[in-house]
């Protein structure tokens, strides 16, 4: 995939958005905080598409891995990636890719319900995968069983995550209109 200057600028924009919203976090007893990062991740996939959305989140992870305070609570470093919430962080590029792949394939050029159904499907499937990665990593790192992981890392988050999906779905058409002059196109590698 050959990246244009526009592609790189848009990737940087969504990387910056993830960095900007991650300090807004509410710590919870299980070690996985409530954050707005998911909104930035889902927006990246839905606006940029699967490849560029995933790339923007890979850059976000790299910035955090080298120690910049871009993760929840203004933290950074490899210790966050290998910590209890690391599985969620590592799955962000996958979440963006899934959101983008479903939406770009089935809903990007639709109007009305079809557009929103494709967004909802992409976000729902992507968040299921996010939970699988996050819960698995949490159980491995802390030696917790599935019931404990569900109680600490999933069930308390479901209402907020559903709200994040609704907000994201409402933002996408507005952002698409705002970015209408900027051509965003997923390219196939030859």
Query: Is residue 187 one of the residues assigned to a domain?
Result: no
Q: Give the relative orientation of helices 37-48 and 113-142 as an angle to the nearest 10 degrees.
A: 130
137: domain CATH number is 1.10.1760.20
Q: How many domains does the chain have?
A: 1
Helix (H) or strand (E) holding 98: helix 92-106
Query: Is residue 176 one of the residues assigned to a domain?
Result: no
Task: Specify the pLDDT at position 69.
Answer: 95
Query: Is residue 190 one of the residues assigned to a domain?
Result: no
8 A C-beta contact, residue 168 and residue 44: no
Structure tokens at 39: 């909104």
pTM: 0.90
Query: Is residue 123 one of the residues assigned to a domain?
Result: yes
The CA-based angle 61-66-72, given to 5 degrees, is 55
Query: Is residue 179 one of the residues assigned to a domain?
Result: no
Query: Is residue 161 one of the residues assigned to a domain?
Result: yes
Task: Specify the pLDDT at position 148.
Answer: 94
Task: Specify the pLDDT at position 27.
Answer: 77
Query: Is residue 109 one of the residues assigned to a domain?
Result: yes
Per-residue pLDDT of the chain (190 residues; tens, 9 = 90+): 788 999 999 999 999 999 999 888 787 776 677 889 999 999 999 999 999 999 999 999 999 999 999 998 889 999 999 999 899 999 999 999 999 999 999 999 898 999 999 999 999 999 999 999 999 999 999 999 999 999 988 998 999 899 999 999 999 999 999 988 766 555 444 3
State the residue range of the domain holding 90.
Answer: 5-171
Task: Specify the pLDDT at position 184.
Answer: 56
Task: Specify the pLDDT at position 190.
Answer: 36
Task: Specify the pLDDT at position 169.
Answer: 96
Query: Is residue 9 one of the residues assigned to a domain?
Result: yes
């Amino acid at each position: 995939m050959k990246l244009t200057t526009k592609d790189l600028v848009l990737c940087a924009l969504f990387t910056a958005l993830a960095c900007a919203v991650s300090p807004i976090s509410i710590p919870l007893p299980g070690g996985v905080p409530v954050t707005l990062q998911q909104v930035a991740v889902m927006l990246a996939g839905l606006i940029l598409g699967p490849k560029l959305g995933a790339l923007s989140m890979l850059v976000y992870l790299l910035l955090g891995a080298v120690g910049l305070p871009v993760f929840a609570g203004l933290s950074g470093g490899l210790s966050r990636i290998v910590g209890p919430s690391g599985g969620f962080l590592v799955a962000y590029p996958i979440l963006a890719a899934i959101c983008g792949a479903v939406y770009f394939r089935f809903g990007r050029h639709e109007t009305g319900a079809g557009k929103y159904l494709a967004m909802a499907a992409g976000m729902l499937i992507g968040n299921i995968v996010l939970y699988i990665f996050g819960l698995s990593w949490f159980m491995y790192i802390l030696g917790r069983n599935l019931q404990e992981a569900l109680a600490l890392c999933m069930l308390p988050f479901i209402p907020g995550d559903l709200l994040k999906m609704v907000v994201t779905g409402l933002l996408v058409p507005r952002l698409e209109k705002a970015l209408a002059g900027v051509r965003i196109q997923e390219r196939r590698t030859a």
